[in-house]
Amino acid sequence: MIQVTLKKASLRTFCLFLLTVLLTVGCTGINFGNRGDTSNSPTSAPDKITTSNTDRSNELHDRIEQISRAAQGRVGMTATVLETGESVSLNGNQRFPMRSVYKFPHQYLDKSPIAATSILNGAFADEILSYNTPLYNVENYSVGYWGDKFDWKIDFTTMDNTADYTAAAALDSTTPKILRIASFQISPNELVSVGKEVKNREFKLVPMGSLEDFSASNKKERAAHPEGEKEVFPGWQNKQYLYSMFSVQNTPLDNDRYPDVRWTSAIDVLSKI
């Protein structure tokens, strides 16, 4: 997620910058199983662009339409200048999957009239742990790991915690460029113990092979399905997501920056699955 504050930037300049970066950088997400949301189909609804200033509406409409057309899919954005209340929205009345949607390269932001903070959160625990992935599967009561990382601490963050922290950061004028958070960090070994506690069943720890082989398999699958490059959540992406979870950690964490955020525990999440 990202906090954006305009510093005497015009609505037109900002919204075109915002839309261009969103389309250039793109978004990533994860979709295990068949819980996909068909509402983000490119043909689910026509593009609708609205502005609060009719004098600029035609110009903005033309430019936004031109940029969004390059995405070859359904695009949504909203930008508001806080000082004037001017705003522009593209499909602002539609829902979009909020998975790593906001990704702004700071080399662009540093050259723009925008102060920004990127909040790096862990995998969404309330989704990832409920999909019966090889990492945590309550159908066969197993926990998987790659390489020798059975004690690797995986970053997890709930969606509510992410929203609460982002709201607090949005009201903080002293935030740094990057903040790192995780509701909890838990290893596969610890998942076995917590799973047993909340389900009252024995969980087995399962080695899934090396990270190198996992990475090679992901690349092979991606190359075999080039159509996925134009999909929001291609099939190979879930495996890449898992690979990243065993490769990168958020450190140091900035959880304590906002004391009012009450962090959800692993037991809280797993007991609801």
Contact 176, 2 (CB under 8 A): no
Give the mean pLDDT of 96-103: 55
Contact 244, 122 (CB under 8 A): no
The pLDDT value given to residue 63: 72
Give the mean pLDDT of 151-180: 93
If one compares 193 and 3, the residue with the highest pLDDT of the two is 193
- Residue recorded with tokens 């015009």: 10
- Residue recorded with tokens 């080399």: 107
The pLDDT value given to residue 201: 96
The pLDDT value given to residue 125: 95
Examine the pLDDT at 25 and tell me if it is beyond 80: no
**Domains parsed from the chain with CATH numbers:** 1-121 (no CATH), 122-161+182-273 (3.90.25.10)
Q: What is the CA 154 to chain-centroid distance, rounded?
A: 16
pLDDT band at 242 (very low <50, low <70, confident <90, very high): very high
Instruction: Residue 254: name the closest of 246, 245, 263 by CA.
Output: 263
Q: Which amino acid is at 256?
A: D
Give the mean pLDDT of 261-273: 96
The pLDDT value given to residue 93: 78
If one compares 31 and 201, the residue with the highest pLDDT of the two is 201
Examine the pLDDT at 77 and tell me if it is beyond 90: no
If one compares 163 and 60, the residue with the highest pLDDT of the two is 163
Which helix (H) or strand (E) segment holds residue 215: the answer is helix 211-224
pTM, rounded to two decimals:
0.66
The pLDDT value given to residue 36: 39
Contact 169, 254 (CB under 8 A): no
List the end-to-end C-alpha distance of the chain, in Å, as a whole number.
Answer: 26
pLDDT band at 50 (very low <50, low <70, confident <90, very high): low
The pLDDT value given to residue 180: 95
Please give the mean pLDDT across all residues of the chain.
Answer: 77
Listed in sequence order, the residues at least 6 apart from 42 whose beta carbon sits closer than 8 Å to its beta carbon are 72, 73, 74
